[in-house]
Amino acid sequence: MADTGWRNKTSITEFVLLGFGKVPELQILLFPLFLMIYMVTVAGNMLIVVLVVADQHLHTPMYFFLGNLSGLETCYSSAILPRMLASLLTGDRTISVSTCIAQFYFFASLAATECSLLSAMSYDRYLAVCKPLHYAALMNGRLCLQLAAGSWLSGCLATLIISSLMSQLTFCGPSEIDHFFCDFTPVIKLSCSDTNLILVLDLLLASLCTLFPFLLTLLSYIYIIITILRIPSTGCRQKAFSTCSSHLIVVTMFYGTIIIVYMLPKSDTLRDLNKMFSVFYSVLTPLINPLIYSLRNKEVKEALSRLIHKCVAFSRTQASLASTF
C-alpha cells in the first residue's frame, strides 16, 4: 500500500537550492566574495599545474602528485561555485533533478579522488622520510602513474554507481534543499522511493573511498612522526618535518571539516554550522591549498621566479624583434 501511495504522487522535476537565502542581506556581498574566491582558486591551482609541467626541477613524485591535486582542486571548485554564482546573480535557485544528480556526481567523485591522492602523497612522504635510501627505487615513475590513475578511477567509478541508482529514484516533494549544492543526504531525504539499498551501498563505498585512504594517511604520518622524533639533530628534524608540513596542513583541514559535517551526531548546533563547514572544505580548501604549497615551499617559489624571468626575457625578445621590423 505504501508503494502504491508514493507512485500515485506527482514526480517533481526540479529542486530548489535554498543556499544562503535565510540571510538575504548578505546576498549582495556573497556574489563578489565567491567570484573572487573562484577566480583566485582557479588561477592559483592552474599556476601550480603550469609550474609542475614546465619546470624540470619539479619533475619529482611529490610535485607530480601536487600537480594532480591542483588540477583536481580546479575541477572541484568548478563543480560547485559557478552554479552558486549564477544563483546569487540571478536569484534563480531552481535546479533540475538530473542536473542536481550530475553536480553530486562530479563533487563526490572529485572528493573521493582527493582522499586517494592525499593518501598517495602521504605514502610518498613516508618513503622519503622513513626509507630515504630506497625512495628513488620504490617511488618510480610507473608507481606514481599507477597511484594517480587509481585515485582518479576509483573516485569516478564508485560515485558512478551511487549516481546511477540516484537517477532511478522518484522524488515527490518537498523540493527544497537547505544547502548551496546537491549533496547526497539532503537529496536522498526528498525521495519517496525505497532508499535502503542506496544507503547501504553509499556507506560501503564511502568507507572504501574515504575511510580507508584516511587510515592509510594517518598510519603513514604516525610512522613519519616516529621516525622524525628519532633523528638526533634538531636541524635535521626540522628539515625532515618541513617536507611534510604543507601536506599535513592540507590533510588536517580537509578531513577535519569532513568529519564534522558527515560523521559527528547531527545536533541542532552542528546542523546550523554544517553549511559553514561545507563552505570551508568545498570552497575555501581549494583556495588555500596553492597558497600553502607556494608560500611554504622554497622550490615552488624558485620555480615561479624562473618562470617569471623566462616570461620577461621572452617579452623583451618579442619587443626587440617587433622594433626591428
pLDDT of the residue at 208: 85
The model's pTM is: 0.86
Residues 6+ apart with CB under 8 A from 256: none
Q: Across the strands, what pairs with 96? A: 14
The cell for 90 is: 540571478
User: Per DSSP, which regions of the chain are E strands?
Assistant: 14-17, 94-96, 176-177
Pairing of strands 94-96, 176-177: unpaired
Residues 187-238 have pLDDT tens digits of 998 888 888 889 888 888 888 888 889 899 999 989 988 888 888 877 777 7
Which neighbouring-strand residues pair with 95?
15
pLDDT at residue 7 in the model:
45
Question: CB–CB of 173/9 below 8 Å?
Answer: yes
Low-confidence ranges of the chain (pLDDT < 50): 1-8
Encode 140-179: b = buried (16+ Cβ within 10 Å), e = exposed.
Answer: eeebbeebbeebbebbbebbeebbebbeebebbeeeebeb
Contacts of residues 298-303 at CB distance under 8 Å and 24 or more positions apart, as own/partner, are: 299/57, 299/58, 299/63, 300/48, 300/51, 300/58, 302/57, 303/51, 303/55, 303/57, 303/58
For 149, the 3-state DSSP assignment is helix
Report pLDDT for 242: 73
DSSP assignment letter at 210: I
Which 3 state secondary structure label does DSSP give 132? helix
Can you give the pLDDT at residue 74?
93
